[in-house]
Amino acid sequence: MGEVNLARVDERLIHGQVMVTLSKRNNVNSIFVVDDVVAKDKFMKSLYKSAGSRTGQKTVVMTLEKCKYYWDEFEFKEYSSILIAKTVNTMYELVKYGIPMKEINIGGIAQKNPEKDILVTKSVYLNKEDALKLKELNEEYGVENIYFQATPSSPKTSLKDVLAKFGI
C-alpha cells in the first residue's frame, strides 16, 4: 500500500527549488498532481509531468475523480508521494473521501475575493470557509499537522495561529 508522505496546497503546483527540496524527503518516490484543469489539458499536463521529472520522482497528473479511483483500486500502489493540489477544497475532498494524510502544508494561495480572503501569511490568502475545512480535517479526520510554509526555508505558521485570525 502506498502513502501520502506530504500533502501540499499551492496554486503554483510544481515549481522551482521548492519541489526539488520537498521531493528529497525520506521515502518520497513520486509526485501526484491533482487538478482537473491541468489533467484535462494535454499541454499543461505534459509541462507539469516534465517539471516533476526534474525532481527525479515519478510524476502523475490526475483529476480529483481519478485520484479517488487510483486510491480505491490500487491504494497508490507502493508510492510514497507528495500529493499537491491548487485548492484547500481539493485536499478536503480527498481526505473526506478516505485518503489518509497526516501532514498538509499550505504553500501559496492568491487572493480571489478581497471581501472574504485575508492574508494569513506572506504567501497565503484564506477565507473563513477554507479555514473551517482545515480545522475539520485536523480535528475530525486525523490530519495531525497542518501548517503554512511557502518554502522549506521559510518559517512555519501553525493552523492554530491562522484560525485565530478568523476568531476560530
Q: What is the mean pLDDT of residues 46-52?
A: 88
Q: How confident is the model at residue 56 (pLDDT cuts 50, 70, 90)?
A: confident
As a whole number of angstroms, the distance between CA 69 and CA 72 comes to 5
In terms of residue numbers, what domain contains 99?
Answer: 3-165
pLDDT tens-place string over residues 65-96 = 999 999 999 999 999 999 999 999 999 999 99
Question: Which ranges constitute the DSSP H helices of 42-87?
Answer: 42-53, 64-74
Report whether pLDDT(26) > 80: no
Tell how strand 145-148 and strand 157-158 pair up.
antiparallel
Q: What local confidence, expressed as pLDDT, does residue 94 receive? A: 98
Whole-model pTM over 0.85: yes
Q: What is the mean pLDDT of residues 12-41?
A: 88
Task: Work out the percent of the chain whose per-residue pLDDT is above 70.
Answer: 99
Domain containing residue 80: CATH number:
3.40.35.10
Number of folded domains that form the chain: 1
